[in-house]
Amino acid sequence: DKGGWSSFMAKEISEEPDAVANTIRGRVVDGLVQIPEMEGLDDETLRSIDRILIIACGTAAYAGMVGKYAIEQWARIPVDVELAHEFRYREPVLSPNTLVVSISQSGETMDTLMAVKYARERGARTLSICNTQGATIPRESDAIVYTHAGPEVAVASTKAFVAQITACYLFGLQLAQARETLSTDAVRALVADLQKVPDQLREVLKSGDRIAELAHWMADTRSVLFLGRHVGYPIALEGALKLKELAYIHAEGFAAGELKHGPIALIEPGQIVFVIVPSPRDERSLHAKVVSNIQEIRARGARVIAIAEAGDVAVLPHADEVIRIPLASPFFEPLLAVVPLHFFGMELAAAKGLDVDQPRNLAKSVTVE
Ligand code: F6R
């Protein structure tokens, strides 16, 4: 039931705040993270792990990339992300101290399932982040962190994506507590900030009408580029994937720092570029670097739509359009920045008269290799 929405996707985007809130619910005790279902991986085991490998496909792999930045930073463990179908065929080096984290909305993706089985057979520990109770992948894993996005019907993933990222944050914080790599105060501050995200997402949903206008003006565009940096990079990839699958146009996401190593050659007058702008409060000073990227592409005639935090005035003179997101901890910005891109994919597809819930050639869960 679409509940009065024009499509399941429209409904599911509107549920992104609840997907995050429901994934956090029941996992915070006294301001700290306590994931009850993690019993299969107790604190002692979590302390013995020396490497994490996240495996997933498509959108779920982009959620894993966001997770990598957060988990590595907070728990001081090397984290890699790999596409499940690549992982299994290169004889990866695994040990009992390797934790393989799979991420899957359906829990039935064959490539991911086979990668989990492979990892388990070779002695690695396995954790499943999954949205579907009792699905095959969680049943094959040592521990499960369910995302509570609710059933996702539209083929393109939206609310499950933000729930997957949220689960990665919770897992990263639980790991940091067990390994004592963050102080209790630092964890409490991050948890408190994460708990603010659902309301902040409700704010971001208000940008939907403006995005719909932009998408309708751009209905004839044949290519859109997305730039992001740090945790904004996977969001750029996600924005591009949604446009490919929903609106059937060429779209690519790049790490902003990579621009001068090649992609800038693509920029010609009229090229539409979405830029996810890091917070000016970020201590890594990535904001200035991305603003300078914007200047470079604008000088070559690109039309820039910036997604930037409220109060970031430095970006204003350089962008054709600025979509605002509320102030959040830099690590949590991906949750906020992705919503306008989910809207954009849906609205551009709608402007082209396409079926946003059932894009051509795609299935909701890919149960063949
Ligand atoms: C994109 C999309 C796909 C899935 C991928 C993995 O919008 O939905 O890329 O993310 O097929 O599916 P799950 O998460 O079910 O393993």
Distance of CA 309 to the CA centre of its chain: 18
Determine the Cα–Cα distance for residues 286 and 284; give it in Å rounded to an integer: 5
Of ligand 1's atoms, which has the minimum distance to the CA of residue 112? 16
Determine the Cα–Cα distance for residues 292 and 298; give it in Å rounded to an integer: 10
Q: Is 4 exposed, middle or buried (0-12, 13-18, 19+ CB in 10 A)?
A: exposed
- pLDDT at position 359 is 87
- pLDDT at position 266 is 93
Question: Which residue out of 117, 196, 244, 364 is catalytically annotated?
Answer: 364
| Cα–ligand 1 centroid distance for 105 (angstroms) | 7
Q: Are 128 and 107 in contact (CB under 8 A)?
A: yes
The ligand 1 site (C-beta within 6 Å) comprises 57-60, 104-106, 109, 112, 156-157, 241, 245, 365-366
Residues (pLDDT < 70) of the chain are none
Q: Are 273 and 243 in contact (CB under 8 A)?
A: no
Cα–Cα distances (Å) from 87 to 62, 262, 292, 366, in that order, read 16, 27, 36, 17
- pLDDT at position 265 is 92
| Cα–ligand 1 centroid distance for 62 (angstroms) | 10
| Cα–ligand 1 centroid distance for 44 (angstroms) | 32
| Cα–ligand 1 centroid distance for 298 (angstroms) | 33
64-78 per-residue burial string, b: 16 or more CB within 10 A, e: under 16:
bbbbbbbbebbbebe
Known catalytic membership, residue 364: yes
Of ligand 1's atoms, which has the minimum distance to the CA of residue 364? 8
Cross-strand partners of 255: 228
Atom 3, ligand 1: residue with shortest CA distance: 58
End-to-end CA distance of the chain: 31
